[in-house]
Amino acid sequence: MSEAHYHEDHGAVAGAPLVELVDVRAAYGTIEVLHGINLSVPQGSVVALLGPNGAGKSTILKVVSGLLQPTSGEVRLAGRVVNGASADELARIGLCTIPEGRGVFPNLTVRENLWMATMAGVSLAEVEEIAYARFPRLGERRKQLAGTMSGGEQQMLSMARALSVNPSVLLLDELSMGLAPLVVANLYEIVAQVSQEGVSILVSEQFARTVLGIAQYAAIVLHGNITRVGTPAELEDELSAAYLGS
Amino acid sequence: MQTFLQYTILGLALGGAYFIAASGLVVTYTTSGIFNFAQGAIAMLAVFTYWQFRWGWGWPAPLALLMVLGILAPLLGAVLYQVVMKNLRGTSEVTKIIVSIGVMLGLQALATWVWNPTSSTPRQFQKFFGPKAFAHVGSLTIPWHIIISFGIAIAIAFGIRFLFVRTRSGVAMRAVVDDPELLQLNGGRPERLAMISWAGGSFLAALAGILIQPMIGSAMSAGALTLLVIDAFAAAMFGRLRSLPRTFMGALIIGLTTTYVVAYFPSKWTWSSAFHNSLPMIFLFIVLLVLPQDRLRGATVLRLRERFRMPSIRTAWIAGLTMMIVVFCLKVIMAKTGVNTLTLALTFAIIALSLVLLTGFAGEINLAALSFGAIAVMVVYHFGISGTGDGARTTLWGILLAAVVTALVGALIALPALRLRGLYLALATMAFGVFVSRMVLTERNERELFGWKFTIFTAGQLTIPRPKIGPIDFNSQDAFLFLCAGLFVVIGIGMVYLRHSGYGRRLTAMKDSPAASATLGMSVVRLKLSIFMMSAAIAGIGGVMMAAQVGTVNADRFDIFLSLALMMITVVGGIGYVSGALFAGIFLIAFIEALNLLLKKFAVDYSTLEAIFMFFISAVTVLPATIGITMGKNPSGAVSDIVDGMNLVKQSKPLMITVIGLEAVIWALTATEVITNWNFVVLTLANLILVPMVGGKLLMARAMRGVPKPVPPELIGIDRPFTDEDLAAMDHALNLESVVIPSSTTVREEPANASA
């Protein structure tokens, strides 16, 4: 499948893709949950995966991050096929994933959590500097166990990792889950800022409004398929249909 | 004062060594979530290996230390993790416990094999710098070994703390326990960290063993050294398997109490040596009693790999009837020794039933089933025998009383651990088992309490006669065989009924999610307590039958290692099934016995190959443990696999008739003594295994066309995806109008209607 042809399929998406999924199928046990996903994230853009519960958004992110190996199809990172690479290998070459729920180690302190981020190849001093500058709250609580902090603070901690490891690709899974709208807005401001630094971002969201403000492209995921890809404006109508079933 | 100081220093050193062993437990538990029951066995193996290098082959101490601590021990830990423990992610606590117990039993059998305990020269293990190296501190004379031990313990304590707090790898090891996946997303390698920690844990175990052995001073014994781990368990529990400072405290308290008991208890108390040996057990028990309650958990156990299908009551009756017929047919052709072995195997199967009930149905763990048997046997011996000499019989009331007493003892043992997770209950029962062996079964002399004279384990052996129930005398071997078989069938069928009852469903619910059960208003504690008591009672009855079969039993019959092996083999057989218990009894007693006899027969028949057959006889001792270790690969048990294989026979009438017909011919030939019993065994195996295989090949073509293996409804969606037929059937069952769920192609075309 040539690249040109590939882009024709998805009309809206242009620019050199940094992350590409080609006909990816994935399964939990014997149950297939992704039935041939085609998607590309152009360099420096924010692509939002939208869809209801259980549609397969998180599974797509798991496949990209290397936590789940696809049963067929290709995952490409900067044009190279990375099927079979483990999540930690991908993490060390610049893929940063913030998983669903809070991406923190509850029994480690804030500082120790940040220390874990240095495995991607930055120094602890650097990580701490960036993290505490952006989130002074974390600086005050560097010796507190992450599990004892509020949901918003925990999400700040996981975002601090995304900010400081200087990734080329950022994967965000349900950033808004269980958080107050104000906190969510705040977090997405940071996402936008990261994006402006040239990081390619793939984000899954159940609640589309917040993320559409910063996304260049969105893909609607339903029953393990991507049913539409387009700019937020193009998808306006279909979105409400996908959620509300008009 | 001099004595006090002397013993305090000794106690600190002993505590230090306990701490080293315990810290190894904490390290491996922290990084892999597996509580390593084999920790003591690793220490034991290291002690024997070190002895071999140092005194067996006369190596210098530094070289021997480097070899054992620097190379072999870490290597063993790393290999254990890579080959065995790595496969245990996503398995239940029971499987994790069983596999590490398998490793423990395997290492122990290996050590007994290599270093024959009955060898004539006693193995002496000396302190560092020899037995006469003393340091003089003030007026005190302290062996250097003691000083070294305590020094190393402190260094290890600080070293581990430094590792876990000040190094990235150490912090990452803690992170692995929190969330291995997240660590991976951070770029860490959880598998490698876990392997390193196992290497470290193994190193610490080996170090502790080499330090402790000369302090104990007795001859090297594989069993005693392996059980040393319980002392470490107690210390590790003190720190809740997490906190190193508290583990250190716990270890020191155990070390000090033990030496003070030795120092200050009057030597005229004959039980004080047994008491000091049992102290760690008592300590462990108290710690379990005061540990704060565990958070009830539900979500984490959802995706287990173990699955047990519940047999229907009809199947249970058919299986029970079949079993009685098979037992009868076997009895007709078997020699007297064969009948004895079969009966003994059935008594063990009854004990194993108690484990199926407790672990398979309720998810709780008892590692000392035979100790409950011992309690029951003592009750029967003292209160349940009528008549004397050859006329002595065990009475029905005696058996019932024994069941009641064991149930009560069971309640007492389970009580502290009921609020805690399965692992703690397992530890409490193991402590109980060792306590019974060390303290109760050593009570051979008459004691007097408030003017009442009694002995507990009279003269070290108890004679239990066969029972007489009502007018029926089960004194003859044949009658007793049928009693045991009947008892197994009755209890087994009763358990299937129980499993189908509301109580059984509540048990399953509790096993799946204690949290959800509690929120539904069930009393989890009462449920656990009742099932534990019931299970203890069955173990008691089985124990009495076992003793009645053997005739005269001594303490070895109730050894904790035998309990552990029985538990392990029951899990291998399938802890969720009554047939798993039968498998355990037959395998552990009859199969191993038969294999031994067969190998010995070969060794005699083919004397040129004797060495090879003798090797295999030794290898058989390691066999059960090896099988236990493989549990990680197939946690649902072997019997379910065999049953799945048999399904083919069940589905095809001609095949079934062929197998049964052939078996009848083989049996008839044996009964008329045309062929020998050995031939019977071989032909039967061939018939049961080969015929379905060959027949299966022939039927394969039809099977390909025909029906796939049916999936029970509760596993649809797990074993295979839902089909349209399933959905239609569900709609029908729920009285719904058929709902059309769009397939993937329709979604692609009409996204707008997709979730309508």
Whether residue B246 contacts residue B402, with contact meaning beta carbons closer than 8 Å, is answered with no
Last residue of a domain, one of A147, A165, A183: A165
Domains identified in chain B, total number: 3
Question: Do both B340 and B243 map to the same domain?
Answer: no
Which carries the bigger pLDDT value, residue B461 or residue B253?
B253
* 3-state helix/strand/coil string of B487-540: HHHHHHHHHHHHHHCHHHHHHHHHHHCHHHHHHCCCCHHHHHHHHHHHHHHHHH
Q: Taking 70 as the threshold, does the pLDDT of residue B745 lie above it?
A: no
If one counts the domains in chain A, the total is 2
B299 occurs within a structural domain: no
Q: Is there a single domain that holds both residue B238 and residue B384?
A: no
Contact (CB<8Å) A105/B742? no
Count of CB contacts below 8 A, A vs B? 111
B242 and B326 fall within a common domain: no
Beta bridge partners of A203: A48, A172
How many separate helices (H) and strands (E) can be counted in chain A?
A: 10, 10
The phi and psi torsions of A95 (rounded to 5 degrees) equal -105, 120
A91 touches chain B (CB under 8 A): yes
Cβ atoms A34, A63 nearer than 8 A: yes
Region of poorest pLDDT, from A106-120, B488-502, B629-643: B629-643
Could you tell me the CA-to-CA distances from B578 to A107, B110, B665, B689, B712 in Å, in that order? Answer: 41, 31, 29, 22, 19
Residue B370 domain flag: yes
Q: How distant is the Cα of A159 from the closest Cα of chain B, in angstroms?
A: 12
Residue A9 pLDDT:
41
Average pLDDT value over all residues in chain B: 82
Instruction: Mark whether B237 and B379 lie in a shared domain.
Output: no
Instruction: Indicate if A124 and A144 belong to the same structural domain.
Output: yes
Nearest to B380 by CA among B369, B392, B368: B392
CB-hemisphere CA count at 13 Å for B659?
23
Same-domain status, A122 and A217: no
The whole-angstrom separation of Cα B308 and Cα B635 is 10
**CB-based contact (8 Å) between A222 and chain B?**
yes
How close does chain A come to B723, measured CA to CA in Å? 11
Mean per-residue pLDDT, B35-46: 91
Q: Which of A114, A139, A165 is the last residue of a domain?
A: A165
Whether residues B596 and B717 fall in one domain: no
Using the Cβ of A148 and the Cβ atoms of chain B, whether some distance falls under 8 Å is answered with no
Domain residue limits at A20: 10-93+169-245
Interchain proximity A108–B187, CB inside 8 Å: no
The token pair that represents A21 in the structure block: 């999924």
Contact B752 A242 (CB under 8 A): yes
Nearest to B424 by CA among B306, B292, B512: B292
Residue A1 belongs to a domain: no
Checking if the pLDDT of B346 tops 90, the result is yes
Q: Check whether residue B232 and residue B347 sit in a common domain.
A: no
Structural domain includes residue A208: yes
- Nearest chain A residue (CA) to B749: A227
- pLDDT per residue as tens digits for the range A133-172: 988 999 999 899 998 998 888 988 988 888 888 889 999 9
A12 close contact with B: CB closer than 8 A: no
Is residue A113 a part of any domain in this protein? Answer: yes
Give the A window 56-75 contacts with B, CB below 8 Å: 65-67
Which domain-ending residue is among B547, B576, B605? B605
Residues of chain B contacting A92 with CB distance shorter than 8 Å: 187
Indicate which of B169, B185, B304 best probes the interface with A, i.e. most A CBs within 10 Å of its own CB.
Answer: B185
pLDDT in tens, B535-551: 999 999 999 999 999 98
Q: Given CB atoms, is A43 within the 8 Å cutoff of chain B?
A: no
Pick A103's closest partner by Cβ from B177, B182, B721: B182
Most B CBs within 10 Å, among A119, A159, A239, to test the B interface: A119
Between helix B272-290 and helix B396-417 the angle, nearest 10°, is: 60
Token readout for A130 is 């960036």
Kindly provide the ipTM of the predicted complex, given to two decimals: 0.87
CB contact residues (below 8 A), chain B span 63-102, against chain A: none
Compare all CA atoms of chain A with the CA of B172 and give the residue at the minimum distance: A116
How would you class B197 by CB atoms within 10 Å of its CB: exposed for 0-12, middle for 13-18, buried for 19 or more? buried
Which member of B184, B721, B751 has the closest CB to residue A220?
A: B751
Instruction: Give the pLDDT score at B636.
Output: 62
For B190, nearest residue in chain A (alpha carbons):
A88
Residue B588 is predicted with a pLDDT of: 87
Residue A204 lies in a domain: yes
Calpha distance B196→B202 (Å, rounded): 10
Test mutation, B31, B167, B174, B182, chain A, max A CBs within 10 A: B182
* Of residues A52, A104, A120, nearest to B755 (C-beta): A52
Distance of CA B726 to the CA centre of its chain: 40
pLDDT attached to residue A8: 40
Domain shared by A173 and A224, yes or no: yes
Model confidence at B139: pLDDT above 90: no
Q: Are strands B134-137 and B140-143 parallel, antiparallel or unpaired?
A: antiparallel
Where is pLDDT greater, at A74 or B126? A74
Whether residue B459 is predicted with pLDDT greater than 80 in this model: the reply is: no
Residue B719 is predicted with a pLDDT of: 65
Q: How confident is the model at residue B640 (pLDDT cuts 50, 70, 90)?
A: low
C-beta of residue B692 within 8 angstroms of C-beta of residue B646: yes
The two structure tokens encoding residue B438? 């060390």
Check CB contact under 8 Å for B184 and A120.
Answer: no
Compute CA B381 distance to the chain's CA centroid, rounded to the nearest angstrom.
28
Q: Are B241 and B338 found together in one domain? A: no
Q: Which residue of A has its CA nearest to B750?
A: A227
Cα B529 to chain centroid, rounded: 20
Report yes or no: A108 at the B interface, CB cutoff 8 Å.
yes
Q: Give the separation between CA A114 and CA B161, rounded to whole angstroms.
A: 19
A155 and A214 part of one domain: no
A87 and A16 in one domain?
Answer: yes
Domain co-membership, B244 together with B360 = no
pLDDT at res. B303: 46
Q: Domain end: B252, B275, B299, which one?
A: B252
Residue B442 to residue B434: CA distance in whole angstroms: 11
Supply φ then ψ for residue B395, to 5 degrees.
-90, 160
User: How many residues in chain A?
Assistant: 246
Percent of chain B exceeding pLDDT 70 equals: 86
**Can you give the pLDDT at residue B705?**
45
Min Cα separation A124/chain B (Å)? 10
Q: What percent of chain A has pLDDT over 90?
A: 29
Give me the residue from A92, A106, A222 closest to B755, CB to CB.
A222
Q: Which amino acid is at B585?
A: G
B103 in any annotated domain:
yes
The confidence score (pLDDT) of residue B425 equals 82
The C-alpha torsion from B367 through B369 and B375 to B376, rounded to 10°, is 160
3-state secondary structure of B325: helix
Q: Indicate whether B228 and B343 sit together in one domain.
A: no
Residue A14 has pLDDT above 50, yes or no: no
Same domain, B128 and B207: yes
Share of chain B above pLDDT 90, in %: 24
Mean pLDDT of the B501-526 span: 83
* Chain A residues with beta carbon closer than 8 angstroms to that of B720: 30-31
- What average pLDDT score do residues B121-140 get? 74
Structure token digits, residue B702: 């039809």
Is the pLDDT at B98 greater than 90? The verdict is no
- B693 occurs within a structural domain: no
Confidence of residue A17 (pLDDT cuts 50, 70, 90): confident
Query: Is A2 part of any domain?
Result: no
CA-CA distance, B447 to B455, in Å (whole number)? 6
Amino acid identity for residue B305 in this structure: R
Same domain as B529, residue B417: yes
CA distance A60 to A40: 12
Is the confidence at residue A186, as pLDDT, over 90?
no
pLDDT score of A10 more than 50? no
Partner residue opposite B189 with nearest CB, options A66, A88, A103: A88
Same domain, A86 and A176: yes
Together in a domain, A241 and A218: yes
Residue A3: the pLDDT is 40
Q: Would you call B373 exposed, middle or buried from its count of C-beta atoms within 10 A (0-12, 13-18, 19+)?
A: buried
Chain A residues with CB-CB distance to B752 below 8 A: 238, 241-242, 246
Running DSSP on this structure, what letter comes out for residue B608? Answer: G
The CATH number for A212's domain is 3.40.50.300
In a domain, A5, yes or no: no
Residue A4 lies in a domain: no
CB–CB of B754 and A117 under 8 A?
no
Same domain membership, residue A183 and residue A213: yes
Same domain, yes or no: A88 and A174: yes
Q: Which domain holds residue B217?
A: 16-252
**Pair B354, B228 in one domain:** no
Closest Cα in chain A to B176? A105
Whether residues A229 and A117 share a domain: the answer is no
- B624 contacts: CB under 8 Å, gap ≥ 6: B105, B565, B568, B569, B587, B588, B592
For residue B294, pLDDT beyond 60: no
Mean pLDDT over B141-147 rounds to 84
Kindly state whether residue B618 falls inside one of the protein's structural domains: no
Residue that terminates a domain, selected from B588, B605, B622: B605
Instruction: Please say if the pLDDT value at position B417 is more than 70.
Output: no
Name residue, tokens 């210098």.
Answer: B60
Over 70: is that where the pLDDT of A94 sits? yes
Where on the phi/psi map is residue B160: left (φ > 0), alpha (ψ -120 to 50), or beta? alpha
- Indicate the residue among A165, A193, A211 that finishes a domain: A165
